Structure formats: structure tokens, C-alpha cells
């Protein structure tokens, strides 16, 4: 089994490329990926600046290139990583090192969100579960032990910084369209600095945010009037099509569109004196932030290098545990049949009662543990040294004929396996 990922990000792709790379919803895409017999697990990550697909299985690199081809994604804008490179990448993503605004906090929340969504869709198994939980842990640790997230570290805060630098905010009237996560961040950055109006499709949500930041809530069907009234219009909605078109705009307006897909039609730039800033314009700030935070990046990379080694060791141990689990499950299934057969013979010949079952099971458990202790030790050593060739064979031999134990005893069985692994 190998872990690989397909990455389409701001490093090679623009906003339109990223928009086109996402087809359908998470569960649909995961179902499509898992329909391939060589793929066992799948997780997705979709943000303003990236589309990523993580898979576990066989021949995953070739699969990801073929999948990208099916999705109409050109090779020039994608990267495919496998093994350690893939693991290192997701740790860097969660830590904010791969973000356009280095160190941004929002990406960690997005990794957590997609981890939960993909798990609920049935895409995440024990390998990606371990990988994503480690990524979330590392992202949290990096922010706790470094100053990587200080300053303008989100798309929203960088957008406000850009407006302050390019057009100024003092005395401005600003219309914010969208009261979701991104819009809320913008509103809090603007609180007390401008005369702020907030519009949202769900008026109640916009009203709550307006009360929080001391702004005025307006109804969504009134936004055209407030576009006329305000100097700056910021869009941050989840609409799948432009909500502001050229015919709605008068001269000398400033737009900041931080939504994906875009909320403002590019044709507004044809109106006299109109300025439109998008996520692409924030790349300059990313470069400046990177220079300022170089020292913090180095600290973060040291943490990631250390945690990557721990993750790789954990994955090796997991691989060994899966093979060991197959051996113990097979032994457990055989044991139950043999214990009952032996008990029935003893009962028929010596008229023993059911107390004998406990004695027989204790004997069988001891025999299994002692018999499998050496194979357990050797499998752990092979995994530690990175010799995985034998593992698919072991799993096939011991799990190939459907002898699976009763699920009601799975917890006890897992504890027994864990005890054997630790003692070997």
C-alpha cells in the first residue's frame, strides 16, 4: 500500500484553473475514486488556493495522473507526490507553509473540516486517519511554538491590508457581502475603521454579525442600492456564479473579491475608474510575508521534519499491526471452533460441565500467544526496516478465506493483539 496525493495549488494554477478542477461534491468524488479496485482510501481538500486528492492503494501515482486527465486538469498545473513527499506535503499544508499567505490560520480549520467530511463519506480508513490526525496535530504545534501566524496571515486579513495600502480605508463606506467564515473575519478586521454595511442571503445571520462588529445589516435584495452608496465593496459569499455584474456598477468603485468561485464579474473593470482586486492580487503580499517570516518558517520546518519521522514510524507500525491482526483473527476463528469441538468430546466422554470451556479457552489463548509471538516480532522488525514485501502475502494467507471472528468480541481481540505486539 502507498500514500499519494494530487496537488493543484496557487503555485502553478490561477483561480480559474482551481475552480475548473473541482467537480461535484465530496462524497460523489470519493465514490468515483473508490470505485477503482486499486484504491482503498481517499480524502479531499478544497480551498481558495488548492484542490488536493489523497489516496491509499496500489499504483496510486498512475491512477492520480489518469484521474486528473479525466477531470480535464492539464499536467502543467499539477503535482503528484508519493510516500514521504506526500506525507511531508500534508504536514506543510496544515502548518500553513504551502499557503499563499504563509502561516495563515484558516487552512488548519479547513483540513479539520475536510477530514471530518471525508470520513463521513467513507473515504478515510486507518491509514489516512492516522495521516490527517497527525497533520492537524502538527499544524497546531507549529502555531503554538512559532510566530508563523502573526500579522496578516489569512486571505481576509491580507485583503484588508491590500485595500489599506492601495486605496485607504479612513472615512470610507464599505459594503461587505457575505457573513460566513471569510466574511466574519473581514468584518472583524474592519470594525471601528469604516462605516460598514453587511449583506447576506440569510438576513438573520448578517444581522448577528452586524451587531457583533457595530455595523448595519442590509437585505440581500438591496445590495445594488448600497453598491451605489459605498466606496468599497467586498464579496465573500459561496455563490457559484457572479452576483455583481457590470450593469450594477457605477464609476469609481473599488471591489475586493475574495470568494471562490468569483462573485464579481470581470466586466466591471470596463466601467470608468473601477478597480477590482481578487485573490490573485494577494500573491504579492505572500512574497512579502514570506521574507518577514523566514526565520519562523525554518523553525516550523524543523518541527515538521521531526514529526514526519514519527508519522513514518507510526505508519510502519500500523502496517505490521494489520498483518498481525490478520494472523490473530484467523487464529481466533479456528480457536473457537476447536474449543467447542474439544468441549463436546470431553462432555460426551467425561460428562464435564461448561466450566471446562473457560479452561480450554485459556489454554488455547496461551498457545496462540506463544505460537504467534515470534512471527509478531519478525513482522514488527520487517516493518521497522521498511521491508513490506511480505505483508500483502501475510494478509492474504491469514485473511483470505473469510474466517472472521464474531464482531462482539472485537474489542477483546484488539486488546489481546495490542498486548502481544507490545510484549514481542
Residue 48 appears among annotated catalytic residues: yes
Of 48, 118, 121, 230, catalytic: 48
User: Around 97, how many Cα atoms within 13 Å sit in the side-chain half-sphere?
Assistant: 25
The contacts of residue 320 (CB under 8 Å, 6+ apart) are 379, 380, 382, 383, 384, 391, 421
Contacting residues for 174 by C-beta, under 8 A, at least 6 apart: 190, 194, 195, 196, 197, 230, 231, 232, 233, 234
Long-range contacts: 412-421, Cβ < 8 Å, 24+?
A: 413/328, 413/329, 413/332, 414/325, 416/328, 416/365, 416/369, 417/321, 417/324, 417/325, 417/328, 420/324, 420/328, 420/369, 420/372, 420/373, 420/376, 421/320, 421/321, 421/324, 421/376, 421/380
Q: What CA–CA distance (Å, rounded) separates 16 from 170? A: 33
Question: What's the distance, CA 362 to chain centroid?
Answer: 45
Instruction: Give me the helices (H) in 191-276, please.
Output: 203-213, 223-229
Q: What is the residue whose three cell numbers read 474489542?
A: 411
Cis before 2? omega within 30 = no
264 three-state secondary structure: strand
Catalytic residue set: 48
Amino acid at each position: 500500500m502507498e500514500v499519494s496525493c494530487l496537488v493543484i495549488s496557487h503555485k502553478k494554477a490561477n483561480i480559474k484553473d482551481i475552480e475548473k478542477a473541482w467537480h461535484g461534491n465530496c462524497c460523489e468524488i470519493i465514490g468515483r475514486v473508490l470505485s477503482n479496485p486499486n484504491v482503498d482510501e481517499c480524502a479531499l481538500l478544497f480551498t481558495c488556493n488548492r484542490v488536493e486528492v489523497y489516496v491509499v492503494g496500489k499504483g496510486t501515482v498512475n491512477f492520480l495522473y489518469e484521474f486528473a486527465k479525466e477531470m480535464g486538469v492539464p499536467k502543467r498545473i499539477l503535482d503528484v507526490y508519493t510516500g514521504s513527499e506526500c506525507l511531508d506535503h500534508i504536514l506543510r499544508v496544515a502548518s500553513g507553509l504551502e499557503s499563499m499567505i504563509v502561516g495563515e490560520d484558516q487552512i488548519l480549520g479547513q483540513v479539520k473540516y475536510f477530514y471530518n467530511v471525508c470520513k463521513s463519506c467513507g473515504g478515510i480508513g486507518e491509514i489516512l486517519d492516522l495521516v490527517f490526525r497527525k497533520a492537524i496535530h502538527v499544524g497546531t504545534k507549529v502555531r503554538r511554538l512559532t510566530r508563523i501566524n502573526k500579522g496578516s496571515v489569512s486571505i481576509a486579513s491580507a485583503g484588508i491590508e491590500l485595500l489599506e495600502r492601495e486605496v485607504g480605508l479612513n472615512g470610507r463606506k464599505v459594503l461587505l457581502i457575505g457573513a460566513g467564515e471569510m466574511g466574519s473575519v473581514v468584518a472583524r478586521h474592519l470594525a471601528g475603521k469604516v462605516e460598514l454595511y453587511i449583506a447576506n442571503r440569510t438576513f438573520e445571520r448578517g444581522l448577528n454579525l452586524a451587531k457583533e462588529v457595530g455595523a448595519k445589516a442590509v437585505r440581500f435584495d438591496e445590495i445594488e442600492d448600497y453598491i451605489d452608496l459605498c466606496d468599497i465593496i467586498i464579496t465573500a459569499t459561496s455563490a457559484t456564479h457572479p452576483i455583481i455584474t457590470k450593469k450594477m456598477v457605477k464609476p469609481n468603485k473599488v471591489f475586493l473579491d475574495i470568494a471562490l468561485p468569483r462573485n464579481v464579474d470581470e466586466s466591471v473593470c470596463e466601467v470608468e475608474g473601477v478597480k477590482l482586486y481578487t485573490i490573485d492580487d494577494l500573491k504579492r503580499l505572500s512574497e512579502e510575508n514570506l521574507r518577514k517570516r523566514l526565520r519562523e518558517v525554518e523553525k516550523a520546518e524543523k518541527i515538521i521534519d521531526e514529526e514526519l519521522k514519527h508519522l513514518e514510524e507510526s505508519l510502519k507500525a500500523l502496517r505490521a499491526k494489520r498483518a498481525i491482526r490478520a494472523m490473530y483473527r484467523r487464529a481466533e476463528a479456528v480457536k473457537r471452533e476447536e474449543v467447542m469441538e474439544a468441549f463436546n468430546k470431553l462432555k460426551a466422554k467425561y460428562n464435564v460441565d461448561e466450566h471446562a470451556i473457560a479452561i480450554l479457552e485459556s489454554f488455547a489463548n496461551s498457545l496462540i500467544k506463544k505460537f504467534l509471538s515470534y512471527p509478531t516480532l519478525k513482522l514488527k522488525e520487517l516493518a521497522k526496516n521498511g521491508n513490506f514485501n511480505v505483508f500483502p502475502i501475510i494478509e492474504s494467507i491469514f485473511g483470505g478465506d473469510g474466517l472472521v471472528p464474531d464482531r462482539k468480541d472485537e474489542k477483546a481481540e484488539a486488546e489481546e493483539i495490542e498486548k502481544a505486539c507490545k510484549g514481542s
